[in-house]
């Protein structure tokens, strides 16, 4: 019974409660406006339930003690990456209204790919271009949401 109330399972249960709250809180919205948050909440709830089932079905996760390593270099490197990524997100939101979504999102994706995956991820540079353009197509074309653009 102790296994059910582990930290990760508790977080998954809180996520499921949040997903249920999304359905309740979007009840007053129009049918078009409620669609995106409800689809997102449903997807998160589905994967949360799958992860919860997998977590509870693992027999050896509580039997083996976790080996703790005190590696200060790794901790400092992780904190530095988190700080740089946090500053990158702030820079993205500051540049977003000035240079437009397309340019700032492509730059954000390229820098984030290098930051999270190293220089070898630059071989996947078309992903950094296609995902923001797909988002523009969905939000501007499909959902008729106004996004800042470089070309006034």
**Residue 149: pLDDT over 70:** no
Is residue 129 included in any domain, yes or no?
Answer: yes
pLDDT of residue 63: 52
Give yes or no: residues 80 and 138 share one domain: yes
Residues 6-21 have pLDDT tens digits of 667 787 888 888 888 8
Give yes or no: residues 79 and 112 share one domain: yes
Residues 56-88 have pLDDT tens digits of 887 655 555 555 555 776 777 777 877 888 888
Domain of residue 45, residue span? 2-57
Render the chain in DSSP notation, one character per residue. Answer: -GGGGSHHHHHHHHHHHHHHHHHHHTTTS-HHHHHHHHHHHHHHHHHHHHHHHHHHH-STTTTSPPPP---HHHHHHHHHHHHHHHHHHHHHHHHHHHH-HHHHHHHHHHHHHHHHH-GGGGGGHHHHHHHHHHHHIIIIIIS------S--
Number of domains in the chain: 2
Q: In 110-149, which positions are buried (b, 16+ CB within 10 angstroms) versus exposed (e)? A: bbbbeeeeeeebeeeeeebeeebeeebeeeeeeeeeeeee
pTM passes above 0.85: no
**Residue 91: pLDDT over 80:** yes
Give yes or no: residues 49 and 103 share one domain: no
Give yes or no: residues 14 and 45 share one domain: yes
């Amino acid at each position: 019974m102790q296994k059910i109330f582990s930290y990760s399972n508790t977080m998954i249960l809180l996520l499921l409660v949040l997903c249920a709250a999304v359905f309740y809180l979007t009840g007053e919205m129009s049918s078009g406006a409620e669609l995106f948050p409800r689809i997102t909440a449903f997807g998160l709830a589905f994967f949360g339930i799958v992860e919860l089932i997998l977590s509870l079905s693992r027999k050896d996760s509580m039997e083996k003690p976790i080996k703790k390593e005190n590696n200060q270099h790794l901790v400092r490197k992780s904190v530095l990456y988190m700080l740089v990524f946090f500053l990158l997100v702030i820079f993205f939101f500051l540049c977003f209204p000035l240079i437009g979504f397309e340019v700032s999102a492509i730059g954000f994706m390229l820098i984030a790919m290098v930051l999270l995956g190293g220089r070898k991820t630059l071989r996947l540079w078309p992903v950094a271009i296609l995902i923001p353009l797909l988002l523009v197509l969905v939000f501007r074309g499909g959902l008729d949401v106004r996004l800042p653009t470089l070309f006034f």
